[in-house]
Structure 1
Amino acid sequence: MHQPQSVTSGQSTRRTKQIQNSEISVSAIKLTPKEKEVLAWGAMGKTSWEIALILKCTESGVNFHFGNIRHKFGVSSRASALIKATALGLVTPY
């Protein structure tokens, strides 16, 4: 006799597929050297203003790079981008 599948096992299967799809798209993320540098300084807790001083560029330039990073990662905040970059091993938090 067929036993019904539990609700949680169906959810688990969907979650596994979401994670696999997420991993596939994450491996396709290509960051420029400047985006990697901005991420590294951000992971050390630097503000856009501080990063701009360090990189000898404008604060709006740093924010532009963070905007591109957020778009590539599919997140809406700098904190989320830093968390994702850390989880992927792209940066090491200070």
Structure 2
Amino acid sequence: MYQASTVSSRSPAGSTHLRGAESNETQAVRLTNREKEFLQWSEIGKSSWEIARIVDCSEANVNYHFNNIRRKFGVSSRHLAGKIAREQGLI
């Protein structure tokens, strides 16, 4: 009986989580022009430091934008974010 109540208490939370994940996948990711620019530089192998020098901003600013990009795509690397952005025709 205890086990049944544990299962039922997990089911709604699990299904809500799945619905949330599905809605994130179906929502179109929108990138700012700056985020697109930084991803394009990253795609050709430029580091945060190099991108900062090219666009005349701080390295912290570049990393801030990459954090936002990774969050928007739900990934942990800028390279994976770049791959997804290319696949979706964003860059």
On whether the aligned pair clears a TM of 0.5, the verdict is: yes
| Alpha-carbon distance in 2 for matches of 1:41, 1:90 | 14
Q: Give 1:54's aligned residue.
A: 54
8 A contact 2:39–2:78 mirrored in 1: no
Q: Give 1:14's aligned residue.
A: none
In the alignment, structure 2 segments of 5+ residues that lack a partner are: 1-20
Q: Give 2:84's aligned residue.
A: 84
Deviates more, 1:77-86 or 1:58-67: 77-86
User: Higher helix proportion, which one?
Assistant: 2
Q: Give 2:63's aligned residue.
A: 63
- TM-score normalised to structure 2 length: 0.69
Corresponding residue SS for 2:46:
coil
Q: Give 1:31's aligned residue.
A: 31
- Among the aligned pairs, what percent are the same residue? 51
Say if 1:56 and 1:73 are closer, same or farther in 2 by CA, change over 3 A.
same
8 A contact 2:43–2:79 mirrored in 1: no
In the alignment, structure 1 segments of 5+ residues that lack a partner are: 1-17
Say if 1:19 and 1:86 are closer, same or farther in 2 by CA, change over 3 A.
farther
Q: How many residues align?
A: 71
| Alpha-carbon distance in 2 for matches of 1:67, 1:80 | 13
1:73 aligns to 2:73 (yes or no): yes
Corresponding residue SS for 1:66:
helix
- TM-score normalised to structure 1 length: 0.67
